[in-house]
Amino acid sequence: MIGEYIRLIRPNNWYKNIVIFVCLVFSDNIFKYNLWLDLIFAFIILCLLSGSSYIINDILDVNKDKNHPIKKKRPIASGKIKINHAIIYSILLIFLSLVGAYFINISFLIISIVFLSVIFLYSTILKKIIIIDTIVISIGFVIRAIAGCLVISVLISPWLIICAFLVSLFLALGKRRHELILLGKDAKNHRKILSNYSSQMLDQLITITTATLVMSYSLYTFMADSLYMMITIPIVIYGLYRYLFLIHIKNFGGEPEMLFKDKGMLLSMIFWTILVFFILYIFPKINLINSYFFQLELLKLI
């Protein structure tokens, strides 16, 4: 039963909260270990809040999940955990999370409450409204990114907000497309909102989002402190195109974490991470050393 309670809060989806660490990297604070501790604690809190939201969502969708080929195996839908026990479990997680958020700082407590409120609204109302459903999912990722900035008290970059929003929207639309194709005629029985979507419409929305994301990321690299960030543009484009290949040809996209099982996506994400780290933290030191030696040579000539 312990294993079922762990499955109920879906640890395999907690990777979505990693976005909270992005602010640490792009604010040049990656070597400040005290900030790492604060963010790790905040990451755990977001994971518990996410877990509680998954419980609420599973309770509300229990009847629909029983008819889903994959979701019917979830603890509540399969009957392994009773609904009243799941409610108590969710309330306990929320209480512990908010208490922990308070001890980090008031700003993080407020954003945690906002995060929980958005998820609750999505689970009860907003997921039933076409297009709004995917936008709200994307806003959830933006809130996570902002939460990281509030934890370590750094400036909230507009580029962080727009890129986080577009990436999550890109993935959300891919997931909707996968659900529509996987469930076929039974799609509306599982998720009523799917009856308002079509694969052609979703393909167009994905195309628009992809183009906007590429442009936004490119503009960010043009205006970044280091122009070397422009080198990462081809990697981002490859990653997006690879994802499109997976959802159209390989029928991926139902659960974005499956992307970590694709070698092409995994290698592109690793390479992008290494390159960004090198550009932000190694290149400046190399340039500083070169500038120092240049000044020494100039002094000798004088």
In the chain, domain spans: 1-156
Paired tokens of 278: 């090198």
Paired tokens of 139: 């806003």
Give the residue among 164, 174, 107 at the shortest CA–CA distance from 140: 164
pLDDT in tens, 189-237: 666 788 888 889 999 999 999 999 999 999 999 888 788 899 999 999 9
Residues 198, 176: contact at Cβ < 8 Å?
no
CATH of 1-156 among 1.10.3720.10, 1.20.1630.10, 3.90.320.10, 1.10.357.140: 1.10.357.140
C-beta neighbour count of 147 within 10 angstroms: 27
Does the pTM surpass 0.85? The reply is: no
pLDDT > 90: percent of the chain: 42
